[in-house]
Structure 1
Amino acid sequence: MSQQMAKFLKDYQAPDFNITHISLNFNLEAAATRVSARSRVLRSGEHGAPLVLDGDDLTLISVRLNGQPAEFSQAQGQLSIATALNEFELEIVTQLDPAANSSLEGLYMSDGAYCTQCEAEGFRRITYFLDRPDVLARYDVRIEADKQLFPFLLSNGNLMDTGDLAEGRHYACWQDPFPKPAYLFALVAGDFDLLEDEFVTRSQRPVKLQVFVDKGNLHKADHAMASLKKSMAWDESRFGLEYDLDIYMIVAVDFFNMGAMENKGLNIFNTKYVLADKMTATDEDYHGIESVVGHEYFHNWTGNRVTCRDWFQLSLKEGLTVFRDQEFSSDLGSRAVNRIHAIKVIKNQQFAEDSGPMAHPIRPESVIEMNNFYTVTVYNKGAEVIRMLHTLLGEAAFQAGMKCYFERHDGQAVTCDDFVQAMQDASGVDLSQFRLWYSQAGTPVVTVSDSFDATSGRYSLKITQQPSSSVNADAGQPLHIPFALELLDAQGRSLVNRVLDVKESQQSFEFEGLTQAPVPSLLQDFSAPVKLNYDFSIEQLVHLLRFASSEVARWEASVSLVSQAIWHNVAQLQRHGSMLLDPRVAEAFRGAILDADLDPALLAEILSLPSASALIEQAESVELDALALAREFVLDTLAVACEDELLARYREQASLDCAAARALKNACLGWLSRVSPVHEALVLSQFNTADNMTDALGALQAANGAELDCRDELMAAFEAKWHDTPLVMDKWFALQATQNVPEVIDRIKALTQHPGFSFSNPNRVRSLIGSFAAANTYQFHRMDAKGYEFITDCLVELNSLNPQVAARIITPLIQLGKFDSARQASMRACLQRLLALPDLSKDLFEKVSKALA
């Protein structure tokens, strides 16, 4: 890696100048938008340094200082202005080409509308500026455009003025009263359908709510609006936080690199997280919309009112806000199921990131391209760190810490240390050791051994933690781990249920007065993001699946039962033995399926067996062909053993109209479709009679996964019905990409020429190319390397078109460590090909070079 290209946290310095106010004037034209930026600039401290501004892909028209032409120099994306003045007005005029901006950063065109994306460093594509999060300014914005083509002209804050101009043009003026960093600036101009509503805050202040969607999609905006109102009410009741502007706007656009963006008062969303009706969106889509709308709204305080000092502190806003949106979903829905979804992300994706070349702490130490650190580590592990704080402090003390944080830092750009300090000061709990979670990379391994003395009735636990030592010098120090524990007796009664404070490399805990050896539920509810080593017996896991007081622990037991069975059969194949499934495993699953008291949504999770990628992450190295055979054997054997019970539950749920019933019904159908061709009739019947997308897609997924004879027929019927609905076609593309057949790569190549596919649209790329790389494990990692070569071809095209999307798609190609030497050699050859590109983007360079190193 070229170290001179990297930026380091340790090198942070406050800006030499600050900009306290900026007035922006946009004259919108597709190929020649002109931007005039008039800023109030103040020198910080005593120094003679020039004002150095960031700029990228701009045509500079003029630079004026206090109304006079200024002397300046340009080099390597920066504009340098030498001046002795301590305070002055700076006016810069630039010209942009939004129509040609395929990177989708800065100001660009999305299906005929103008929109912006400025996080992390996109504002420098609009004008030269101090494009860093610790420069907070108040913004006035005037937008001018053709009125017929762009009747809506939107920006941050409150609308101050509108009017008509000559030649069919018009203008709108916006003012944001709150200082904000440049990354929160937003502009949208287009012709939309508009859904309006109102929310009255707890202080009885009315707030206008607006959701803008593409023409013809107004009926799909209701759920997003309802989710917004729920978010506003929840943040007031749970965190005591009230919205602060007169208007809150959401705009849905089809061309967007991320899920959504929390720009102050004007959130720009990927259409995936706004548009929904029951015929085109699944229950999972509805949940995703509610979660993401909540997430972006919650940023108004945790990210906007208090923001990051520098981008190394990204988890300050993202980890905290992910925790808040998880709590929002859990308070409104099933806490257990929402917790399971969060755990899956950590175990299946974040642990893989921790063990790969891009491993980093939740507060990274260095970056080359900041866009590469919008990661599951910063977001989701960051949320787990906040959750551990909540566990250690309790709700009341945690809320006191939040109140202290806002009282101290409202309107400021601060650090992760500032947040932890507020929590410590408000609670009185020493969090010195806990801070190591912010600086240590990698996944700690926690090993547990136990013993029981029948004579004394004493049960002993020895807990050993081994932090990862592969990334930074601080690794190796013991962390403060909240370790949740439940002990069950033979009848399933709870004897102990508490959280242990694990702070040392090795600690012992003793429990007195027991009459028999208990069954331990360890790290209950995944109380810390660590890997747990404990030699559970099948009997213990069956007991936990049946009796654990935590529904999450019951799910964890089911995952462990299946994982153990799969790895046992991998070992059998390696010894050239026969594959077998312990009958106790099948009996445990039959019992769970028949348990009428079990939440159907939880049972659906229990029936969602570990994916190949999740299993790979459980091992130090893997023989992929053996794993594929063993996993399919265990799944097929379980399905056959539970056929009658699955069929009974399927029929029972079929008459119920709720998300939990549909989740269980479709999980049962997925299993049944593997058992016998006789159940193909169920799949066909469900597909043909479905009155909602969840059931239609559930049938299609069953046919696709089991390679049923009706698969091609159903896929064709689905395409014929939905070919004009892009978000639905994304589901179809993803299913095509995840079919586990040798010819899948040729099919995907052909689909890149499909009328509904475009390499310039991130949603289409993620659905087809991304799904293949991330979810079709066996075909992506096929021994002939065709999967690697195909992805590399796609990355070459995306490198110049949209580097951000390319950098996300590449992730499975850089995680070499788990595979055999032949596959590693093929992956390295593809990475070397990318590294040799003369125009390799910073986004890809960072990941490729680290993987090869």
Structure 2
Amino acid sequence: MRTETTPIVRLEDYRPSDFLIDRVELDVRLHPTQTRIVATLAIRPNPEGRPDAPLVLDGDELNLNSVALDGRVLTGEEFEASPHALTIAQPPRQPFTLTVETEVNPTANTKLMGLYRSSGNYCTQCEAEGFRRITYFLDRPDVLSVYTTRIEAERDEVPVLLGNGNLVESGAADDPNRHYAVWRDPYPKPSYLFALVGGRLGRVAKAFKTMSGREVELAIYVEPGKEDRAGYALDALERSMRWDERVFGREYDLDVFNIVAVSDFNMGAMENKGLNIFNDKYVLASPETATDMDYAHIEAIIAHEYFHNWTGNRVTCRDWFQLCLKEGLTVFRDQEFSSDERSRPVHRIAEVKTLRARQFLEDSSPLAHPVRPTQYREINNFYTATVYEKGAEIVRMLKTIIGADAFRRGMDLYFERCDGTAATVEDFLNAFADVTGRDLSHFARWYEQAGTPRVSVKGHYDEAARTYRLDFAQSTPPTPGQSTKQPMAIPVALGLVSHDGSPLSAACDRVDERGVFLFDKASDTITFAEVSPKPVPSLFRGFSAPVKVSLDLPNEELLVLLRHDTDAFNRWQAAQTVAMRLLVALSTGGSVADAEADAFSAALCSFMGSDAFTDPAFAALVITLPSEADIAQEIGKDVDPDAIHRARSAMRRRIGAGCSQHLRRFYESLADSGPYSPDAASAGRRALRNASLDLLAAADPAEGEALATAQFDSASNMTDRLASLGVLTTLPGQAREDALARFGERYRNEPLVLDKWFTLQAAIPEDETLERVKTLMQHPAFSMANPNRVRSLIGSFAMLNQVQFNRADGAGYRFLASIVLRADELNPQLAARLLTAFSTWRMMENTRRGQAEEALRSIAQKPNLSRDVGDIVSRSLDAGQSE
């Protein structure tokens, strides 16, 4: 397996670059198969580097035409070149200019890294190490350069030419059939932020005035004919810019801000300076083609990439080990933006659901790693939920511990100190330590230790003394490469709730005025005085720390929190905890008394009867049971996906039947009565209505089929149409097949909508689904070359269909293994991400575990695996390997 010879990169081995590149002048002449790039690099020795070091520039599958040093063409004896490196053994020891001419084939670049063609348009993707696929370079984030890029192409074939920064010149080239544009970015940046786009594109634009009065032109470029679908993204961009000025004091710094939507893209989007490149699924939206969730994702990702202008671009990361410094911090910023734009409690619950489904799972798998890893073989495999989502939670905990005012002052100091530099996690934490006077070395363990801390809490009430004591204990399970863990600094936001909802007074000198207790030892105790009667503790309000909590509360007291807690997150959490207890018992051969199940159903009915209309989006979350993947993760070992599916289906039926009166009331009263709007309130009403339809169908399939079919036929927007189709996919029969066929025909020319169609079918938990997926791979709209198509069909089968991917006969595992090997030849990044579906294999019961291991070993035995796939498969098989 190739990874055995791939060198490990270690954080402890970091040293500054031996050379720096102050200026980069690029002359790019676009051609479908023979694009020529002339790079003129102003290089100087780094005073912090080795004095006698050779100059070694990175490359990847490059064809070199020529090399010149200070204008003199070098001979073959003066340098050494391969497709992967350009080395000058004895470079000048004073500033010099190196001119390198390379040639690449964008059409053949199926890896979608470097310069490639997407639907006839030229596009780049350079993070993490894609710039070396364009020209030889010091392709590392701590080498910051000012870029000037001249782009030339056929005028008729490629009418739009875009680059980083501001447009400084454009016009006709020497050949009258060709034209050029020159873009200059005045801000030094690392090579991973370089971007270039050329093609036939439509455009929507508007003017924006910054807080200091500067005029900026905002523009979004899309496939011609789809300009009307870019309006929401443009509006989200303007709102995010205004929000960043107001909340963080950050103003945009160029004359233009351009976004380009492309159909073939490995990631969601990329924050290149002044020229963001997006997967088109996160730009294009109309009521007929996009769901409420699509609109929310567009808003969040547009904001995320814009916020990178300061947290990622103006302040970048010193090395890839500091990736969380830009990604975790920027995820926190986009989460705060979305919370302000929408319902904060609802958005917080959505954030936590994602964290638990993706990052907690990652933490418990062979792929676990610290938020700041200490080593890697392939950096592309560390764009993970741990870096992004857990990284954001660390920033949120820091804000919780020091308070909002100190957090803003710390951010201001961080920007002031680090603007224009490549920073580290230490630089970030030091800014907050300096403004608060706190020692944050203990808190820094969150960046250093892998795994999800587990906190157990026991409550003790002394009626005679009128005191209530909480005993806390914490531990973090061992993870690959880290067997011993130190206690973490865990902020616990808490309160006490009375059984009847009446006000409850209590005092504890360990809890600050905001209701936060800092738990930073292996065990600790806090005591509340003057408490009467016995309270119910409400812990980790707002999910104040990314931990797993074991709390010795009976179900009836948890349901008190559902009814009376003032913290919306913990109201939802209480319902989820009770549901999870029942579902785990049913899934593992245990019994659940009718009284327990009836009490839970009655509590949900009570909630629906009193509070659901206050915030329908919140109500939809409360009445939605934990997913099958969540239940499997809670069980943790010897998992039987079939038993989980049966248990969850039975619970859905019970709730649907027990609460049918309320569910029908929601379904009938929440129908849209006017034009579609993606605003949070309207989306919340649709969410509750469609959640009600799902439970009604679970309780009475005939009624559910009739309601879903009628909704499918009459829906005026994609949210309601897709939701009704989703309900029909849970009900085998001709109505389902007819609706699927009609949907596929209606949207046959809408690739992003067909992705939703692929996803629904791939997730059907029936034995025939694997064959259905194989058949859909022959559909004219499906292509292994397009990551969106592959993720929607193959990825959804592997990630969403717990029953059929984890079939006891191993057919699901073998199928994915074959697809991974096939994808690895075209697009290693895509293949590696598909392979992460095996991250749960060690949790399965013995038969499935053996089948999964056999499939993984079949991949590992394949010669010439990419670094991306080889790294993931070796880590998946070797649970003891360090990260």
Q: Give TM-score, length-normalised by structure 1.
A: 0.98
Specify the SS of the correspondent of 2:314: coil
Closer, same or farther: CA 684–58 of 1 in aligned 2, 3 Å: same
1:608-757 pair list within 5 angstroms: 608-621=624-637, 622-656=639-673, 658-676=682-700, 677-707=702-732, 709-757=734-782
Is 1:832 aligned to 2:857, yes or no?
yes
Amino acid at match of 2:26: L
State the partner residue of 1:78: 85
CA shift, 1:570, in A, is 2.7
Give the counterpart of 2:26 among 24, 47, 50: 24
State the partner residue of 1:767: 792
State the partner residue of 2:603: 588
Is 1:47 aligned to 2:51, yes or no?
yes
Deviations 1:789-830 (A, max 9, x none): 111111011011111111111112132221112211111111
Give the counterpart of 2:325 among 298, 316, 335: 316
Amino acid at match of 2:68: R
Closer, same or farther: CA 395–574 of 1 in aligned 2, 3 Å: closer
Question: Distance between the aligned counterparts of 2:599 and 2:325, measured in 1?
Answer: 46
Unmatched runs of 5 consecutive residues or more in structure 1 = none
Specify the SS of the correspondent of 2:795: helix
State the partner residue of 2:568: 551
8 Å CA contact retained: 1:586, 1:642: yes
1:175-574 pair list within 5 angstroms: 175-473=184-482, 475-495=484-504, 498-571=515-588, 573=589
State the partner residue of 2:679: none
8 Å CA contact retained: 2:62, 2:83: no
8 Å CA contact retained: 1:440, 1:475: no
Give the counterpart of 1:150 among 135, 151, 158: 158
Specify the SS of the correspondent of 1:582: helix
Question: Distance between the aligned counterparts of 2:810 and 2:658, measured in 1?
Answer: 37
State the partner residue of 1:7: 9
Is 1:109 aligned to 2:117, yes or no?
yes
Question: Distance between the aligned counterparts of 1:517 and 1:719, measured in 2?
Answer: 58
State the partner residue of 2:140: 132
Amino acid at match of 1:72: F
How many residues are treated as equivalent by the alignment? 851
8 Å CA contact retained: 1:574, 1:626: no
Closer, same or farther: CA 655–765 of 1 in aligned 2, 3 Å: closer
CA shift, 1:3, in A, is 7.3
Specify the SS of the correspondent of 2:494: strand
Question: Distance between the aligned counterparts of 2:516 and 2:374, measured in 1?
Answer: 31
Closer, same or farther: CA 708–385 of 1 in aligned 2, 3 Å: farther
8 Å CA contact retained: 1:745, 1:787: yes
Specify the SS of the correspondent of 2:296: helix
Amino acid at match of 1:700: L
8 Å CA contact retained: 1:680, 1:708: no
Q: Compare 654-663 and 298-307 and name the one that shifted more.
A: 654-663
Question: Distance between the aligned counterparts of 1:523 and 1:118, measured in 2?
Answer: 40
Deviations 1:183-234 (A, max 9, x none): 0000000111100101100111000011000011011010000000000100
Question: Distance between the aligned counterparts of 2:503 and 2:162, measured in 1?
Answer: 57
Question: Distance between the aligned counterparts of 2:619 and 2:698, measured in 1?
Answer: 18
Specify the SS of the correspondent of 1:251: strand
Amino acid at match of 1:62: S
Amino acid at match of 2:738: E
CA shift, 1:643, in A, is 1.1
Closer, same or farther: CA 3–458 of 1 in aligned 2, 3 Å: farther
Specify the SS of the correspondent of 2:818: helix
Is 1:34 aligned to 2:36, yes or no?
yes
Is 1:98 aligned to 2:106, yes or no?
yes
Deviations 1:230-258 (A, max 9, x none): 00100000111000000000000000000
Specify the SS of the correspondent of 1:5: coil
CA shift, 1:125, in A, is 0.1
Amino acid at match of 2:199: G
Question: Distance between the aligned counterparts of 2:443 and 2:52, measured in 1?
Answer: 41
Amino acid at match of 2:35: T
Deviations 1:533-588 (A, max 9, x none): 112211111111111111111111111121111122234x358x998852110101
Question: Distance between the aligned counterparts of 1:615 and 1:188, measured in 2?
Answer: 45
Question: Distance between the aligned counterparts of 2:400 and 2:598, measured in 1?
Answer: 38
Unmatched runs of 5 consecutive residues or more in structure 2 = 507-513, 675-681, 879-883
Amino acid at match of 1:525: G
Closer, same or farther: CA 163–4 of 1 in aligned 2, 3 Å: closer
Specify the SS of the correspondent of 1:400: helix
CA shift, 1:623, in A, is 3.0
Q: Compare 87-96 and 808-817 and name the one that shifted more.
A: 808-817
Question: Distance between the aligned counterparts of 1:293 and 1:687, measured in 2?
Answer: 30
State the partner residue of 2:509: none
Q: Using the aligned pairs only, state the percent identity.
A: 45
CA shift, 1:147, in A, is 0.6
Specify the SS of the correspondent of 2:755: helix
8 Å CA contact retained: 1:494, 1:549: no
Closer, same or farther: CA 393–494 of 1 in aligned 2, 3 Å: farther
Deviations 1:463-491 (A, max 9, x none): 00102333345842111000111110122
Amino acid at match of 1:659: A
Deviations 1:439-471 (A, max 9, x none): 000111101111000000010000001023333
Specify the SS of the correspondent of 2:142: coil
8 Å CA contact retained: 2:838, 2:852: yes
Question: Distance between the aligned counterparts of 2:869 and 2:365, measured in 1?
Answer: 15
Q: Compare 362-371 and 72-81 and name the one that shifted more.
A: 72-81
Question: Distance between the aligned counterparts of 1:493 and 1:12, measured in 2?
Answer: 58
Q: Compare 177-186 and 620-629 and name the one that shifted more.
A: 620-629
Specify the SS of the correspondent of 1:94: strand
Q: Compare 217-226 and 615-624 and name the one that shifted more.
A: 615-624
Question: Distance between the aligned counterparts of 1:200 and 1:167, measured in 2?
Answer: 37
CA shift, 1:620, in A, is 2.5
State the partner residue of 1:819: 844
8 Å CA contact retained: 1:703, 1:711: yes
8 Å CA contact retained: 2:694, 2:704: no
State the partner residue of 1:605: 621
Q: Give TM-score, length-normalised by structure 2.
A: 0.95
Deviations 1:750-808 (A, max 9, x none): 11110000000000000000000000001000101110011111101101111111111
8 Å CA contact retained: 1:385, 1:437: yes
8 Å CA contact retained: 1:486, 1:494: no
Specify the SS of the correspondent of 2:328: helix
Question: Distance between the aligned counterparts of 1:635 and 1:520, measured in 2?
Answer: 29
> Comparing both chains, which one has the higher relative contact order based on Cα–Cα distances under 8 Å and sequence gaps of 6 or more?
2
CA shift, 1:494, in A, is 4.9
Q: Compare 136-145 and 583-592 and name the one that shifted more.
A: 583-592
8 Å CA contact retained: 2:112, 2:264: yes
8 Å CA contact retained: 1:441, 1:472: no
Specify the SS of the correspondent of 1:812: helix
Amino acid at match of 2:686: R
